[in-house]
Amino acid sequence: MDFMTDRDVQKYMEDGYVVLDGLLTSQECDELRQRMAEIVDRMDVPEHCRITFSTNHDEQLKAQGNADYFITSGDKIRFFFEKGVFDEKGEFMVPKQRSLNKVGHALHVYEPLYKKVTHSPKIQGTAKKLGFVSPVILQSMFIFKQPGIGGEVTPHQDATFLYTEPLGRVMGLWIALEDATVNNGCLWFIPGSHNSGISRRMVRTPKGTFPLTDFTGREQTYDDEKFVAAPVKKGGVVLIHGEVVHRSAENTSEDSRHVYTFHLMESQDTRWSPDNWLQPTEELPFPSLYTK
């Protein structure tokens, strides 16, 4: 029996997202979380790398774009922090396990457990079911959504940051390593919003100019009433079309909401924009999803 049914495919095509239960076992989720705890325990963060991550427009430009640390992280494993976790001297004000927003962007390459999940038969089968011919993996992240301080992710479309010509070639896979609920910051979507293109892009600026990235186009405003919650059980996955509008609220609960997420692109007859912040390197071209 296929992990993804024909009905699931139909919902993905119509709504721009679908929730699938049972991608991973509870034990597999715990193993991924334990491995991340080990990575965080060993991290040594230089003071100049202590930047905060936000999807608020101005703060993105300041914190991400101005930081070479972010823009060169596509082929590395790097650490991005929540707001307010460092004091004026750059020292942790909270335990470092509770300080992180995310770790990215090449876990799928350098960490065997994450690589195994990314290339799992269920993932490969799902891509084939959706018609991916030559999918490549663009990036991967572990997102913490820390209890009490896990920040809001404002409404956005992934293709704003991961732009292709033509559009419609990128899909996110968002794997819940713990239950993702309305209380701890699950995703919310505007169903069908993937059919209207994108309103803005984040692009690299010319070499030698600052900030290193900028936005073109305009930031849309959305009616809150159009958003539909998408809670996910531990071990489930959300498939996210590159143009569907989605967001998540702050985590004001006492529970974390750990997630492993990565993005695929259909590479056949697709042009990856050289203006995107994320670029393949000679050392690490975008790896194929399909493995023998």
Whether 288 is in a domain gets the answer no
Whether 285 is in a domain gets the answer no
At residue 68, the pLDDT reads: 80
How does the average pLDDT of the chain come out, rounded?
91
Whether 122 is in a domain gets the answer yes
Q: Give me the residues paired with residue 78 across strands.
A: 104
pLDDT digits (tens, 9 = 90+) for 157-207: 999 999 999 999 999 999 999 999 999 999 999 999 999 999 999 999 998
pLDDT range class, residue 67, cuts 50, 70, 90: low
Whether the pLDDT of residue 103 is over 70: the answer is yes
At residue 1, the pLDDT reads: 60
Whether 280 is in a domain gets the answer no
Q: What is the mean pLDDT of residues 118-145?
A: 97
Higher pLDDT, 67 or 259: 259
Higher pLDDT, 45 or 238: 238
Residue 206: exposure state from Cβ atoms within 10 A (0-12, 13-18, ≥19): exposed
Residue 32: exposure state from Cβ atoms within 10 A (0-12, 13-18, ≥19): buried
Residue 116: helix, strand or coil by DSSP? helix
pLDDT range class, residue 64, cuts 50, 70, 90: low
Q: What is the mean pLDDT of residues 210-230?
A: 92
Whether 234 is in a domain gets the answer yes
Q: What is the mean pLDDT of residues 131-148?
A: 96
At residue 65, the pLDDT reads: 45
Whether 1 is in a domain gets the answer no
Q: How many domains does the chain have?
A: 1
Q: Which CATH number is 77's domain given?
A: 2.60.120.620
At residue 234, the pLDDT reads: 98
Q: What range defines the domain where residue 160 resides?
A: 6-272
Q: What is the mean pLDDT of residues 274-279?
A: 96
Whether the pLDDT of residue 35 is over 50: the answer is yes
> What's the angle, vertex CA 170, arms to CA 280 and CA 179, rounded to 5?
105
pLDDT range class, residue 86, cuts 50, 70, 90: confident
Whether 99 is in a domain gets the answer yes
Whether the pLDDT of residue 220 is over 60: the answer is yes
Whether 50 is in a domain gets the answer yes
Whether the pLDDT of residue 150 is over 50: the answer is yes
